[in-house]
Structure 1
Amino acid sequence: MELTGFLAFLAAVLPLAYGAPAPAANSLHPEILAAMKRDLGLDAGQATARVARELLAVDVIEQLRSSTGDSFAGAWISEDGATINVGVTDEALAAEVTAAGATPAIMANSLSKLQEAKLALDNLNTSQAKTLSTSSGIAAYYVDVVANKLVLEALSGSTAHAEALAAQVGLVASEFEVLTVAEMPTTLATVRGGDAYLINRAARCSVGFSVTTGFVSAGHCGTAGSAATTTAGASLGTFSGSVFPGSADMSYIRAVTGTTLSGQINGYGAANLPVSGSTASGVGASICRSGSTTGIHCGTVGALGATVNYAEGSVTGLTRTSVCDEPGDLGGSFYSGSQAQSVTSGGSGDYSSRGTI
């Protein structure tokens, strides 16, 4: 399931569990404000204004994606959150971008071209299982809209292989970039969003979001039939469905009768955090996560629709961010303001080294 499909699922079930949407941009929870101050250097006014701008940016970007057609080269929000940047390959469309309230950037490659190359790599993963497995040293790949390139992350001994793969899907040197990483990503394993739970009374993950009859989490946390319990051993339910690896890292745990499903996120040290919708944030937007090991941390969105190669196989449709995590945080809530985004999948690095997830 791609990110769009996951968000559509959340859009369908969140209102049932969380109630009617609230004015998210004007009512950020104090704990969210505190995390954005710590991790993004924003005071309350700046954080509130930024989330409001990011919500408005969604409409502007979608409008221009439609009106610029095949010339659309991606969009991102500036590092300070103040500017909506929209790439186009046709300079004649710059005025249209400006009129819509965004800043135009003339790019060499359309977003569709780069996405088609990424899809070709995904198809290699599907048809040739060992081509992009962890033994190949290709950690992840994604479209970097700011760089206007397909980026492949590889171990130092696999950069030549990454370059060959890029050429295999039809890209020339100016259309891709190979970045060296120190390690391959992992999915080290962990009802209210961000809470801890155990799988088969052993591995630990975090709850993503409560829904009407259970909760969602990461697919790598468990497979259909696996038992979910509290850390104290009380039964929470059973994994009813799970996707990992493949088109998502997503699972659904059907709760046992009597389980209380809270339509909020664990604030870790403060009151619970609100969830009022599932509007998808763009590249450059602020994003936070709640997890049972390190609590709440924030960062920004780096890329959408990324593919990550875990030891278990490749997962498509992921969001790359600068938020750190530790084992046990995985499966937890990912949100922007009070808008649900997804669940934590995996990453490289850790809290101390500010890795990526």
Structure 2
Amino acid sequence: MQHRRIPKRRAALAGGAVVALLGVGFTFQTANASEEPRQFTVKTLSATAAGNLATSLDAKLAGGSAGAYYDARSKALVVNVIDEAAADSVRAAGGRARIVEHTLAELTGARQTLKKQATIPGTSWAVDPVTNKVVVTADRTVKGAAWDKLGKVVESLGSKAELKRSAGEFKPLVAGGDAIHTGGGRCSLGFNVVKDGQPHFITAGHCGEAGSEWAESQGGPAIGTMADSQFPGNDFALVKYSGDTEHPSEVNLYNGSAQQITKAGEATVGMKVSRSGSTTQVHDGEVTGLNATVNYGNGDVVEGLIQTTVCAEPGDSGGSLFAGDTAIGLTSGGSGDCSAGGETFFQPVPEALAAFGAQIG
């Protein structure tokens, strides 16, 4: 993401948009999908409102939910459940209930099996509520014995998992791009935040270590020092501004305008999101998975990521993923590019803010 310089050293947010994991405009193909009784009214919701309802229902159902996603075509929240009692609770709340085969606990167990038996560089996995499966993706570097091992583990999980192949290579998107600079490389600024009353910004943790200085141009004067950096495991970092650099809460749209950012929010499968980055500027996409695990190789495994169809390239790391005025994620890595497409993963912003004790601002 590019850290846009404006008059009087005003540091704009080079933002990247993240796609929400709520499936958009699809046809329900699962054979065991249920029909809602007509006496229940399905609410028309925005993606954000659907995400809030999903969170509320998840707590109410106490394990009776098997995931949820947003149907953008009908503007409805679809909640996977395993029995009619839970389905009635969903319908009464205005959601669309869908009875599925696998519980969330079963899919979580499948993820744990993959973690124990198939931690292989170049792989990722995330729960897909649309298919009610754990989707395992292997990039082009997974070959030979590694591919065979991965295939056997996925096969042992039966209908709870499926294996896909990515044409690209999973990697953090560090190098390249005209963005924020440090001695270790170039990245993109994510979102401006406030911590203890002082201005900071957040970016990707893999971009640098605590104590590193950041500038708007290579070799230019420092605008801030990295106060904290967490990678692997997580992928977020906090930089404290120095000097007179201004810090508007906005994302650069690269068309002469900016998107104001007023809050942070959680992603939902099916949510349409945007990413802003210094290399490829602004691109749109959709969230396809939540709580994704990706293995970038060399022991760099990151968990709890948002998986999307938004493209990204080296230099976009750390940039903003957003939906309207809501900060959603920070660009972590992925495969492919903005010509051929691919998968991109984002660190959720709410988690980073909670870890740092910071707020959007």
Per the normalisation by structure 2, the TM-score is 0.75
Q: Is the 8 A contact 1:195 1:291 kept in 2?
A: no
One of 162, 168, 187 as aligned partner of 1:205: 187
> In the alignment, is residue 266 of structure 1 matched against residue 279 of structure 2?
no
Deviation of 1:337 (Å): 1.4
Residue identity matched to 2:252: N
Match of 1:174 in 2: 159
Between the aligned partners of 1:81 and 1:324, the Cα distance in structure 2 is 26
The secondary structure found in structure 1 opposite 2:172 is: coil
One of 150, 153, 163 as aligned partner of 2:137: 153
Residue identity matched to 1:196: A
Deviation of 1:206 (Å): 0.3
Match of 1:142 in 2: 126
Residues 125-146 of structure 1: per-residue CA shift (max 9 Å, x gap)? 9xxxxx6242xxx421111111
Q: Is the 8 A contact 2:178 2:315 kept in 1?
A: no
Between the aligned partners of 2:45 and 2:339, the Cα distance in structure 1 is 30
Match of 1:69 in 2: 62
Match of 1:188 in 2: 173
Aligned-pair identity (%): 35
Q: Is the 8 A contact 1:87 1:106 kept in 2?
A: yes
The secondary structure found in structure 2 opposite 1:242 is: strand
> In the alignment, is residue 276 of structure 1 matched against residue 276 of structure 2?
no
Between the aligned partners of 1:159 and 1:101, the Cα distance in structure 2 is 44
Residue identity matched to 1:199: T
Residue identity matched to 1:56: A
Deviation of 1:244 (Å): 1.1
Match of 1:162 in 2: 150
Per the normalisation by structure 1, the TM-score is 0.76
Match of 1:36 in 2: none
Of the structure 1 ranges 53-62 and 333-342, higher mean CA displacement relative to structure 2 is found in 53-62
Between the aligned partners of 1:348 and 1:205, the Cα distance in structure 2 is 17
Match of 2:332 in 1: 345
Residues 139-196 of structure 1: per-residue CA shift (max 9 Å, x gap)? 21111111111121123544431244447xxx63111111122343011316xxx982
Task: Pick closer, same or farther for the CA change 1:253–1:243 going to 2, 3 Å.
Answer: same
The secondary structure found in structure 1 opposite 2:63 is: helix
Residue identity matched to 1:311: G
Deviation of 1:197 (Å): 0.6
Residues 60-102 of structure 1: per-residue CA shift (max 9 Å, x gap)? 2122212222221100012536221110011343232222222
One of 242, 255, 270 as aligned partner of 2:241: 255
One of 97, 100, 111 as aligned partner of 1:104: 97
Of the structure 1 ranges 211-220 and 223-232, higher mean CA displacement relative to structure 2 is found in 223-232
Name the one with the larger strand percent. Answer: 2
The secondary structure found in structure 2 opposite 1:140 is: strand
Of the structure 1 ranges 76-85 and 204-213, higher mean CA displacement relative to structure 2 is found in 76-85
Task: Pick closer, same or farther for the CA change 1:329–1:189 going to 2, 3 Å.
Answer: same
Match of 1:26 in 2: none
Q: Is the 8 A contact 1:195 1:266 kept in 2?
A: no
Residue identity matched to 1:262: P
One of 306, 314, 317 as aligned partner of 2:304: 317
Q: Is the 8 A contact 2:58 2:65 kept in 1?
A: yes
Q: Is the 8 A contact 1:152 1:162 kept in 2?
A: no
Structure with the larger RCO, 1 or 2 (CA within 8 Å, 6+ apart): 2
Name the one with the larger helix percent. Answer: 1
Between the aligned partners of 1:339 and 1:173, the Cα distance in structure 2 is 38
Between the aligned partners of 1:279 and 1:182, the Cα distance in structure 2 is 31
Between the aligned partners of 1:188 and 1:216, the Cα distance in structure 2 is 16
Match of 2:20 in 1: none
The secondary structure found in structure 2 opposite 1:66 is: helix
Aligned residues: 295
Q: CA RMSD in A?
A: 2.7
Deviation of 1:231 (Å): 1.6
Residue identity matched to 1:286: K
Q: Is the 8 A contact 2:45 2:77 kept in 1?
A: no
Q: How does 1:4-153 map to 2 (within 5 A)?
A: 53-80=46-73, 82-119=75-112, 121-122=114-115, 124=116, 132-134=119-121, 138-153=122-137
Between the aligned partners of 1:337 and 1:118, the Cα distance in structure 2 is 32
Residue identity matched to 2:182: I
Residue identity matched to 1:103: R
